[in-house]
Structure formats: C-alpha cells, structure tokens
Amino acid sequence: MMDSLKQSLRMAVKSINGSKLRAFLTMLGIIIGVMALVILVSLVNGATRTVTDTVSSLGTNLLTVTVSDDKGSAISLDDLSEWADLEGVGQTAAWQSESAVGKYGYTAETVQVYGTTAAYYNIQGLNMLLGRYIKSADVENGSNICAINENGARELVGYTDCIGESISLNGIRFTIVGILEDDDDSLTAVFGSSSLAVYIPYTALIRLSDSVSSKISSFYVSAADGYTVEQAMDAIYPILYERFDQDEDAFSVDSQDALENTMSSVTSVLAILLGGIAAISLIVG
C-alpha cells in the first residue's frame, strides 16, 4: 500500500516537473478563481449590509405607498394633506423623480430631479447646508425654486455657496434657494440614482415632465410621535382599500421592515448567483 502511494507521488512529481508551465498555469487559475470567489461574496455581503443599514437608518416609522391602478379615483395633494391629520399619522409626502438636463452657463449635466412636498425633508432625514428647503407655499404656487445637493452644486454651478443662482432644467429656469448636505448612505446613493440631485416642488415637476401628473402614484407616510407604524398603517390602509374598490392589487403599503427584508432577499439571491458563477468558472478553469 505504502509502495503504491510512494509510486503515485513520484509519478505526480515527475509529471509536474515535466510540464512546469502547465502546472504553474493551473495553480494560477485556481488561485485567481478562489480570490474572485472570495471578492464577489465579500462585495455582495458588503452591499447587503449597506442597504439594510441605510433602510434601518430611516427609522421604523415610515410607510411607502405605491399606487398601480387608481380606479379613476386619483390621489391628490389635498388628499395627502387631509390624511396627515388622521390619528396615528404624522406626515405625508408625495414624491416622483425624473432625469433632466441641468444647465448653468456653458455647463450641462444630467441630474435627477425630485418633485416633492415640504414634509419630504423631515421624512427622508435630509439636512441643509445652506438656505432652505421647499415650503408648502412653494408647492401651492408651483414656484420655480429648487434645493440642490452639494455635489450637484459643485458639478453644475462650480461652487456650493450658490444661493440665488439660476439653473435650467430641461429649459425651464429655477432659482436655487437651498444646498443640501451630501449623504453617501442615503437611499438615493444606494439605489444608484444620480449623485446630482435637485429637489423642486411637486407641482413644478408636473410642468417639467410629461410623464408626471397631478395624480399621486407614490408617497410616504410617517407615524405620529407616540404611535407605531402599525397604527399608521391601520389609519391609512382602510381609506386606500375603499378608495380603490377594495382591490388590494391596486396599491401597496410597505413598511421599512418589509423593504429591508425584500432588499436582503434580493442581495442574497444575487450572492448565490454570483457565487455559483464563480464556482463554475473555478471548476471549469
């Protein structure tokens, strides 16, 4: 038995010595494959932690409402204002985003434009660097004002202290009234939206984009102080259920926990797929 094993080892060593280049390339392929597998898994795990931490940082008192079929009974900004007075509900904020061409002087950049309301600032935990955010009066009047993030100010205008300057978005001029602090851990950054972010009144976005109307299709609901997100859900869900002909498929109401679980599931599947691809490549190699 030992003689047979020794003979096999001698033959293996002899084979390696006889084709050192092949042995080196095989070893190199294995090393690279293992490293690629480790790096891919590490990247996916890191992305998973980033997403879950970011969603968690928004707090547990937030609901995201998405309307897929308004059944001819569209939600308006007035509806959101009324629902903000419901017991258990803190604030409501409509939002929609569109990409646009932002121009300042001879500089042109593709920016992500967010049409929002005043409550969006608190709900999303934004922070001002300079100036102010959108006010309720701006939304009511459809004012051509905007708040822009630090990076957007630097890239488009050239400097951050640019309160009072005017930029054009798809040819429509907006006056900068506020500069927002950048946040690399925000949902905007995590989900890959443009780092050049401009916030304008929701009513102004309606004029800016043909694909946005006064029919609200996405909005946030926060739980009032002293109330849980479940209580806010109990306040808002029955209203939507009745409004949309008791069709639960016409809308969705998701909590931050649900969003976190969904994103964790997505990244877990991604990890399995990438790991499988890397493993197959390693075996084939």
In 3D, which of 223, 234, 169, 171 has the Cα closest to residue 201?
169
Distance CA 223, CA 52 (A): 20
| Predicted pLDDT of residue 195 | 83
Residue 210, judged by CB atoms within 10 A of its CB (0-12, 13-18, 19+), counts as: exposed
CA distances from 35 to 7, 42, 138, 148, 153 (A): 33, 10, 54, 41, 40
The structural domain count of the chain equals 2
User: Are 97 and 209 in the same domain?
Assistant: yes
State whether 101 and 206 are in the same domain. yes
* Shared domain check, 209 and 130: yes
Residue 206: what pLDDT?
93
80 occurs within a structural domain: no
pTM over 0.95: no
Domain ranges, residue 111: 92-213
One domain for residues 150 and 199: yes
Question: In the structure encoding, which two tokens stand for residue 2, read together?
Answer: 């030992």
Last residue of a domain, one of 183, 213, 243: 213
Residues written for the chain = 285
61 falls within a domain: no
**43 and 126 together in one domain:** no
- For residues 209 and 162, membership in a common domain is answered with yes
What pLDDT score was predicted for residue 214? 87
Q: For residue 116, what pLDDT is reported? A: 96
Mean pLDDT by 10 residues, the chain (285 residues): 63 62 67 70 64 54 90 90 94 94 94 96 93 97 96 93 95 96 61 76 93 90 92 94 91 75 60 64 58
Would residue 104 count as lying in a domain?
yes
The answer to the question of residue 48 being in a domain is yes
